[in-house]
Structure 1
Amino acid sequence: MYAVVRRYEGVTDPAETGRRVAEGFVPVLRQVTGFVAYYFIDAGGGVMVSTSVYEDRAGAEESVRRAAEFVRDNIASLLPNPPQVTAGEVAAAG
């Protein structure tokens, strides 16, 4: 399995961002081949973190591309800073 973690700082409206992600982005991710799970976390202080899990690297890479498109087209004003993106093979799961 592969996972992608995105950390967004300076989020201007976490509640609205979460709503738009739930309604618009999650359905997009579910269409990615190998999709396993997605979580979007409000860490407080204008920080939000997403974690997505895929069966393989190709799905994880596709999610990065689709996330960039979704942010650009739908929520760029709410996420003024580019995310810190970390991706890799899942070493352990519980």
Structure 2
Amino acid sequence: MSDLAREVLDVVLDALDIPYAATAGDDEIRAKILDQRLMQLVVSLRALRDDPSRGAAWTLTYLREKLAEYPATGYRTWGEARTECREAGR
């Protein structure tokens, strides 16, 4: 696999692989974050495919900057909830 292909896969995973939410209320927040990240990803993938004049490195850097604007925070994750239950002895 080329370095560019690996970098593209890494940024796709960074965009989409965010922690699952603990509750339905948390999932609403997660869904909004994921929706924004997905939109940025689609725009960037189209640019990579259709407008190579900017270059892959620039496009991937720009995408990472845009993804940073929508961090996977502000909701309780499934992992956090499980840890809390274990610590509480449940």
More helix, by proportion: 2
TM-score, length of structure 2 as denominator length? 0.39
Higher relative CO (Cα under 8 Å, sequence separation at least 6) belongs to 1
